[in-house]
Amino acid sequence: MTVEKHEFGSTADGSAVGLFVIDTENGYRLTLTNYGARIVSLLTPDRRGNSAEVTLGFNELGPYLEPNPYYGATIGRYANRIAGGTFRLGMKTVRLACNEGPNHLHGGHQGFDRQLWSAELIGDSDFAGVRFARVSRDKEERYPGRLTVELEVTLNTSGELRLCYTAETNKTTPVNLTNHAYFNLAGPDSVSILNHRLETGAAYYLPVDENAIPTGELREVAGTAFDFSRSKAIGTEIDAVDGGYDHCMVFSASEPVRELSPVAQVYDPDSGRRMEVLTTKPGMQLYTGNKLAGSFDRHRGKLPARAAFCLETQHFPNAVNEPSFPQPFLEPNQAYQHETVYRFSAQR
């Protein structure tokens, strides 16, 4: 296990940005940066033992400083969408910035993905990674409360990418943190994930309106294109979903935090790579890269739609406005904790 730290450039105000490379020396290599507490790159072996890139991203800092599809970024203070950018907190209405049409998306214009985090190397002979930290000030992107956040991102020799989030606040505030990595298990020569086979433990999903806001209904996946209770190719029924998959899959309709549990697995039959997902969160946004067309990647150049997928573990979108959903509000006397594991292997 080796860990290296490099310079990755500087932000517009001249702040230095670091790049951290963790190599297990058995085929797995993870690259992180403290700009956006971001996964820059992940290499994993295929069935023949050949390692290749399985995430989208850039080799230089510059494109991350510009608008991009949130490649590998930590998302906060609230992942996903909040309808109208507003919610009630006691007797007050909180009004957030609307950065996706009429909605608030992924923390606003200057969310956690566009912030420089502190970074500390952690690990031992079996695992290594980075502990990221930052303080989100009161009224940052108009959210109430001073929020102190830590995130440990580690990789071990068994191919487990582990993300452990903690946070504390001095005022009641919604908190919903996730990572926005885009995966294509077939490697850098592939521009489609439609043949990847997905299986999830979700019995329900959240239908959405024309602005991608959940309607409030929990709908059973049985008999729909969202039924991945048995492994099937992502592309099998994607055309039956208007615009493609960009929906929250539901594992628990009532618990905001659960025990770390397996919730999904994806298999690429061409490479033999498999990715299992375990999380403590009640939901997971399944996004099939429907809006990637015209974006760029380090390997593929200009991308088509559906060149990669995201499995973003999280609270439900717009839960701040849906009392029947598990609630995402953090109180001053509570600790926010969230753990997600992406476990990689290859089928011979």
Residue 309: name the closest of 47, 33, 55 by CA: 55
Whether 6 and 18 have beta carbons less than 8 Å apart is answered as yes
How many CA atoms lie within 13 Å of 309's alpha carbon, on the beta-carbon side?
28
Distance, CA of 119 to CA of 74 (rounded, Å): 14
Of 104, 106, 180, 247, the active-site residue reads 180
The residues that bridge with 346 in the sheet, in sequence order, are 273
From residue 342, how far is each of 33, 117, 196, 232, 277 by CA, in Å?
18, 22, 16, 19, 5
- Helix or strand or coil: residue 245? coil
From residue 157, how far is each of 27, 185, 202, 252, 265 by CA, in Å?
9, 19, 29, 31, 20
How many C-beta atoms lie closer than 10 Å to residue 348's C-beta?
7
- Annotated active-site residue 312? The verdict is yes
- Annotated active-site residue 104? The verdict is no
Radius of gyration of the chain (CA): 19
From residue 255, how far is each of 19, 214, 239 by CA, in Å?
36, 18, 32
Q: Which tokens belong to 41?
A: 């790159």
What DSSP letter does each residue of 6-68 carry, written as one string? EEEEE-TT--EEEEEEEE-SSS-EEEEETBTTEEEEEEEE-TTS-EEE-B---SSSHHHHS--
Q: What is the DSSP letter of 253?
A: S
Of 53, 168, 312, 322, the active-site residue reads 312
How many C-beta atoms lie closer than 10 Å to residue 262's C-beta?
14
Residue 151: name the closest of 135, 164, 137, 160 by CA: 164
The residues that bridge with 10 in the sheet, in sequence order, are 16
Active site residues: 180, 312
